[in-house]
Amino acid sequence: MKKTLLALTALLASAANADTLIDNINGLQVGPDGKLQTFRAIVIGDDGKVRQLLQNPELVRLANITSHIDGQGRTLLPGIVDGHGHVMGLGFALIQLDLTGTGSIADLQGRLRDYAAAHRQDRWLTGRGWNQELWSEKRFPTAADLDVIVKDRPVVLERVDGHAIVVNSAALRAAGVTAGTKDPAGGKIERDSRGNPTGLLIDAATELVAKKVPAPSSEQRDQALEKAQEALLAVGVTSAADMGTTLDDWRTFDRAGVNGRLMVRIMSYAAGVEPLQRFRKAGDWQFGDRLRMGGVKLYADGALGSRGAWLKRPYADKPDTRGLQFHSDAELLSLARTACSPGFQLAIHAIGDAANDQVIRTYETLKPVCPGASRWRIEHFQIADPADIPRLARNGIIASMQPVHQTSDRLMAEARLGQDRLAGAYAWQSVLKSGARLAFGTDFPVESPNPFPGLAAAVSRQDMNGEPAGGWLPEQRLSFAQALHAYTRGAAYAGFAEAKVGSLDPGQWADFIVVDRDVSTADPQALARTQVVETWVAGKKLFSRPVEAQRGERGR
């Protein structure tokens, strides 16, 4: 009895200083033990942090709560922490030509025609989002395809994965790319039978044209960041790791923070070692824990879709290539050493099994050299040799993965690799069973920033239409608690932010979302279609879906 009274006294004391009680909720989060926790109410302090999660909210009816909100039986979750995205890339994708979902080259041409007509004042036309794997013809687009639509202005259209572009002849001329131009290290210029550039540039070769595109103005950058934040909050993302922050990106984030317009928390990873001339060491959190420069993003290879992922064996559907190795072992080690010496966290992109092996070897070599470094990351860890997976846990390496890539890439991965090399593909459960940590994200704008299709893919290994039946390599499925952990606590830990976000434990920021269904019991297809009703950051509501736009069933 005495213990009960003491607990009640402590609860009332904490609540007495709180600003807001939200009750009548179906609260869900993953606890420190990895198990799903439930609660019926949350108390938020006037400092924007969580004071208490309650199973019996009626106990605080006598407390001096300054504000009370009826949750109407809705499901409340911690804000999603996207472990891998591109904030400014998302923003620019929202204000440029959108080629997402095009079903053919003719479809791409139609969108380009409309966009060019509506943007006659633009000297260059830019866009992104095409994916030839979704097209009926299955071939890569060419400059000739674009020249039919636009001849007089340079056109640069980025593939959905960001690892290839197609440009028109005007862009090739502006960049001086000819038959005599050599392939840069880590890149490839696709050529026709006569050796002339076709207009398709892969990985490092994209820079030959990209560097000629006029830089966006500060006003355009601010607009892009605003659009990106709106899009993230609308799908429940309250924190995001920005993988590849340039100095201009950082200035945009900083400007927003100074002006009070930074809503989403951003964990920045510098784009290579060049920005380290500006950032001498990993920084502290700024603007109420909204922004931190803490890591460096490097690349070991390209992407599977453009056959830039570096494989141990040749591609099954193109035996004359194993993909692109971006750096020799010595080069990658040198870059990684430069980054880790001043204390930056390393995050290295590796998709192919050869690239993943190289990155693990790099980290193994660095372990005694950078004793203060920890939580090294591999971004994507998409195609791994099963024999290499146990090496993650032994070296404290975090697998930063994106579940929705599995559903997007399934058929392509089968074609690129063949059935006998899929055992380590998108192997989430194998990573966890090895003892390694898992962090989930979406890789926006390569994929939609919406985390719920990713959660559904993680628990089912199926797309939004329930394909394939039974799930693809179903032994790699996760439980709902494991998947939610990777999108909250796991992603926060991967960004050294677990003391601030990723859960609603007392003392954490009150970053949470209200959704239109009980995601813990919804079937995978219903889970994928979850809508966010409200998004709160630091105890403030920053997004609310109009009632007429809500289509879910409350309390399901």
Full DSSP string of 145-180:
HHHTT-SSS-EEEEETTSSEEEE-HHHHHHHT--TT
Round to whole Å and give the CA distance between 290 and 220: 21
Q: Which residues contact 195 (CB under 8 A, 6 or more apart)?
A: 179
pLDDT attached to residue 429: 98
| DSSP designation for 184 | P
Structure tokens at 240: 């995001």
First to last CA, the chain: 37
- Residue 500, helix vs strand vs coil: coil
Amino acid at site 165: I
Angle between helices 247-258 and 87-95 (to 10 degrees): 90
501 near 513, Cβ under 8 Å? no
Tokens 């809705």 correspond to what residue? Answer: 74
Round to whole Å and give the CA distance between 476 and 431: 9
Enumerate long-range contacts of 106-115, CB under 8 Å, 24 or more apart.
107/135, 108/141, 108/145, 108/157, 109/145, 109/146, 109/148, 109/149, 112/146, 112/149, 112/150, 112/155, 112/157, 113/149
Query: Which residues of the chain, if any, have pLDDT below 50?
Result: 1-16, 62, 552-556
Round to whole Å and give the CA distance between 244 and 344: 13
Q: Which residues contact 96 (CB under 8 A, 6 or more apart)?
A: 126, 127, 128
Q: Among candidates 495, 445, 413, 521, which has minimal Cα distance to 95?
A: 445
Structure tokens at 278: 């500006």
Round to whole Å and give the CA distance between 305 and 286: 38
Round to whole Å and give the CA distance between 86 and 446: 9
Query: 262-298 pLDDT, tens per residue?
Result: 999 999 999 998 877 787 677 889 999 999 999 999 9
pLDDT attached to residue 549: 67
181 near 147, Cβ under 8 Å? no
C-alpha atoms less than 13 angstroms from C-alpha of 356 in its C-beta half-sphere: 30
Round to whole Å and give the CA distance between 328 and 185: 10
75-78 and 512-515 strand pairing: antiparallel
108 near 99, Cβ under 8 Å? yes
pLDDT attached to residue 516: 97
Structure tokens at 74: 């809705």
Tell me the whole-structure pTM to 2 decimals: 0.87
pLDDT attached to residue 79: 98
pLDDT attached to residue 63: 55
Cα separation values, 154 from 21, 96, 229, 531, 555, Å: 56, 14, 29, 39, 52
Round to whole Å and give the CA distance between 537 and 528: 23
Dihedrals φ, ψ of 493, to 5°?
-60, -40
404 near 452, Cβ under 8 Å? no
pLDDT attached to residue 53: 95
